[in-house]
Structure formats: C-alpha cells, structure tokens
C-alpha cells in the first residue's frame, strides 16, 4: 500500500553504484529481487566531514517545506528550526500553496519532494514565484536529476537533493540554494 517509490529509489542507488537488479516473478510463487553490486577490492576509509552538524551554518531565512512522509517532515522541520530557519511545513501540495498564500513574510526557499499525492513539487515551484518572486527551490527525490530534468524542473533557481540524505546534506544544499 505504498507509493511505489521504494523500488525506484533502490534502482537509482544500485545503478549509481555500478550494479544491476535481477527480478524473478511468477504467479502463486512470489517475487525475488537479486541485487548485484561490483566487488570492492580496496575499500577507502569513511570520509570525515570537515564540519560537524553543530558547526554547520544555519540561517534566518523562511523555508516552505513540503514532504508527504510525516516522520521525515517532522524530522526535517525540527532540524531546520534548530538551525535558525523559520519553517512552514506542509504534507501535500495544496496545503503548501495555501501556506504560501497566507505567509505574511517573503518565502526565501521551497524545499519540496517532487512526487506528492496531489500537486507535485514541480507544479508547486511553478506557482510560487507569482507571490514570492525571489524564492529559490530545492527538490528532494528518490529519482535522479536526469529523470527530473527531463520533466523541465531545473531553471537556474533549483537544486536537487537525492534521497536518502542526511540532515548535514540537507543543510548544505539549503545554504547552496540561498547563498
């Protein structure tokens, strides 16, 4: 009863790693997914970021955050508020557009999932400049940027953060968009 994005997310991760997925499915027998990844001969040590999450620079800008996964929306909202941002959180496109219309302040950034149950993130991003002309956009998605760019989503004021991502990556992408 999910949205079906789990498999596309796994596929994107496996393809980026140079692997492939084999599927075997038959009625009354079930489905088996086999994931093949290239062998790592020399495993590099994990990279250490130069900044810890606590040292990352936050901001005081206003962010409209749109994500239909309630737990992810709650987590991202709390992290962004902790770093000084004013967050307007919505769990679907219609609520996001309504929040933007009611906002008494200029929204600086839209952070939105691309795939939403009603109005998708690309459509939200297209509507907001009328009322918030300086707004920047960060799309979050399990799809690759190539898949999204084919839909005409990138126009110089947009960036993509691919799922899964860390809070540290989210904060960095937000500063990239705003700065």
Other CB atoms within a 10 A radius of the CB of residue 102 amount to 8
Tokens for 110, please give them. 């839209």
Multiple choice CATH, 56-178, 3.40.50.2300, 3.40.50.720, 3.40.190.10, 3.40.50.2020: 3.40.50.2300
pLDDT tens digits for range 35-73: 998 887 776 666 554 444 445 567 899 999 999 999 999
Q: What are the residue ranges of CATH 3.40.50.2300 in the chain?
A: 56-178
According to the model, what pLDDT value does residue 141 have? 86
What pLDDT, in 10s, does the model give residues 82-118? 999 999 999 999 999 999 999 988 999 999 999 898 8
Preceding peptide of 21 cis, ω within 30°:
no
**Angle, vertex CA 174, rays to CA 170 and CA 175, nearest 5:** 120
Nearest to 139 by CA among 108, 163, 119: 163
């Amino acid at each position: 009863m999910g949205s079906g994005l789990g498999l596309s997310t796994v596929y994107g991760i496996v393809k980026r790693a140079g692997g492939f997925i084999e599927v075997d499915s038959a009625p009354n027998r079930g489905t088996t997914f086999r994931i093949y990844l290239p062998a790592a001969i020399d495993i590099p040590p994990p990279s250490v970021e130069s900044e810890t999450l606590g040292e990352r620079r936050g901001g005081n800008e206003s962010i409209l955050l749109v994500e239909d996964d309630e737990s992810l929306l709650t987590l991202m909202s709390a992290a962004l508020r902790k770093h000084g941002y004013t967050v307007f959180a919505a769990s679907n496109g219609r609520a996001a557009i309504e929040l933007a219309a009611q906002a008494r302040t200029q929204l600086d950034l839209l952070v939105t999932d691309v795939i939403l149950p009603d109005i998708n993130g690309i459509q939200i991003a297209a509507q907001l400049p009328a009322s918030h002309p300086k707004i920047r956009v960060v799309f979050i998605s399990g799809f690759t940027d190539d898949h999204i760019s084919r839909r005409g989503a990138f126009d110089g004021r947009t960036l993509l953060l691919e799922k899964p991502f860390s809070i540290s990556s989210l904060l960095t992408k937000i500063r990239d968009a705003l700065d």
